[in-house]
Amino acid sequence: MKKIKVGVIGVGYLGNFHAQKYAAMDHVELVGVFDTSIDRAQEIAAACHTRAFADYHELIERAQAVSIVTPTTFHHGVGMECLAAGLDVMMEKPVTVTLDEADQLIELASRQGCILQVGHLERFNPGIMALEHYIDHPLYIESQRIHQFNPRGNDVDVVLDLMIHDIDIILSIVKSPLKAIRPLGSSIVTSSTDVATAQLIFENGCVATVSASRIAQSNVRQLVIHQKKSTLIVDYGKKDITVIERSGAMTAEGYPEEEATHLPFPDQGDALKAELLHFIDAVQTRQQPKVSGVEGRQALALALQLIDEMKEHQVTHNL
């Protein structure tokens, strides 16, 4: 089997890891990297034993597929050029800034017969992948994504920076139209929302409460799913699940008897590697990835709706 020729456009913090993963794949040839900083491109190229390009158009000419790991504002323009050239695209999340831009990418990918995958990395977290076996009928979902401040990603609202991961996961789990949303957010240290919470109410009765912050003192990434017969607790960082199962029996106090099982997944490791291998498999088999442009657009649509409604209640603190 011939190696897939892949390039990486944008090798900042995350793009560097894309380049590393591709360089280590036996069935991939990393043909080059591009960055607006040629010094950075040359540094990563040397580490990955490939070529640095000062113009990404030259890289497009030599690749079959690309990872686009630029700031979100450039996703649409760069993505359209890559798809127009017939390249398969792995686009970091969020897919674009606007729904119109996302629609254009999806339409062009379809017309060109190209793969368009969106980088919702948590779909490939071992805990989330193992969770599918235990999902029955979610009644109430609690999601927390609390991070320490990092200037990377602050070009967008915290909803697009962090919460969109959980939006994508919840939409994939609940599989029901939204009935109502109740969002709140606040700008604390940047010009856009830094802390946000939202209640999502679905037509099938499920309710999800989602919280995100990028100004916390410590990092917490947890998902809790309450069902009639069980509660599932996923720790993204530890990559494990706690399954609390409720039998029909009752305790002396009148509470359902519970049995907790701890399921660690420490050896299944690298979510980014799994995500990029999934992309390369889609390139080879021409099968749609689990997070295509359509799923990326769905998450973006809800995220933008939350942002718009938050603005009505926005509190900005000038320090």
Is residue 216 predicted with pLDDT exceeding 80? yes
What proportion of the chain, given as a percentage, has pLDDT over 70? 95
Is residue 276 predicted with pLDDT exceeding 60? yes
Confidence (pLDDT) at 157: 85
User: Do 143 and 211 touch, CB atoms closer than 8 A?
Assistant: yes
Confidence (pLDDT) at 61: 97
Sign of CA dihedral 272, 278, 281, 287: negative
pLDDT tens per residue, range 22-34: 999 999 999 999 9
Measure Cα distances from 213 to 5, 114, 193, 197, 221 in Å: 38, 35, 9, 9, 11
Q: What distance in Å separates the CA atoms of residue 101 and residue 160, rounded to the nearest whole number? A: 15
Confidence (pLDDT) at 250: 83
Confidence (pLDDT) at 256: 84
Q: What residue ranges define each of the domains in the chain, with the CATH number in brackets?
A: 4-120+271-292 (3.40.50.720), 123-268+302-316 (3.30.360.10)
Q: What distance in Å separates the CA atoms of residue 49 and residue 28, rounded to the nearest whole number? A: 13
pLDDT tens per residue, range 122-163: 999 888 888 888 999 999 999 999 988 877 656 678 999 899
* pLDDT tier, 317 (very low <50, low <70, confident <90, very high otherwise): very low
Where is pLDDT greater, at 231 or 236?
A: 231
Among the listed residues 198, 93, 69, the one whose alpha carbon sits nearest the alpha carbon of residue 145: 198
* pLDDT tier, 72 (very low <50, low <70, confident <90, very high otherwise): very high
Mean pLDDT of the chain: 92
> H or E element: which one contains 109?
helix 99-112
